[in-house]
A = this chain, B = another copy of it.
């Protein structure tokens, strides 16, 4: 759920395509920093690099009062990276689903001191697996 800011609009009066990536980041931070149990998985909050991002834009988003719902799930857990997938969509009152876009980001944990990539540990894998679909 992310409420657009007026400042997210560009000169075309749309939520700018760049800002979409910010929305995904906010949703992910919320999941990794707040809702993921922190015991043993603090590293997911303190040191994760984005190594790949892809977004398919389907409809333009506008400034509005209702937050845009963002669904998010872990779609892949590798040895030293994991993938989060996202869908931004409204469920209209009549049951139709209005998809604004889909996206995914590949994330790699890094050692917070050296900045070097590292493998996911067992606790992190367990935490992430709870977010698989």
User: Which A residues contact B (CB, under 8 angstroms)?
Assistant: 3, 5-7, 9-11, 13, 16-19, 21-22, 25-26, 29, 33-34, 49-57, 60, 63, 65, 115
Contact = CB atoms under 8 A, between A and B. Distances in A.
A45 to B, nearest CB: 11
Contact of A25 (B18, B52, B54): B18
A55 B57 contact: no
A5 B17 contact: no
Nearest to A64: B34
Contacts of A34: 65
Given A7-B25, A18-B18, 8 more contacts: A6-B11, A6-B33, A7-B18, A9-B10, A10-B11, A11-B63, A16-B25, A52-B54
A55 B56 contact: no
A16 B53 CA distance: 13
Contact of A51 (B21, B33, B51, B57): B57
Among all A-B residue pairs, the 7 with the closest Cβ atoms: A54-B54, A17-B50, A9-B11, A6-B29, A18-B21, A11-B13, A18-B22
A3 to B, nearest CB: 7
16 contacts: A5-B26, A6-B33, A7-B16, A7-B18, A7-B22, A11-B63, A16-B25, A18-B19, A18-B21, A51-B57, A52-B55, A52-B56, A52-B57, A53-B55, A54-B54, A60-B115
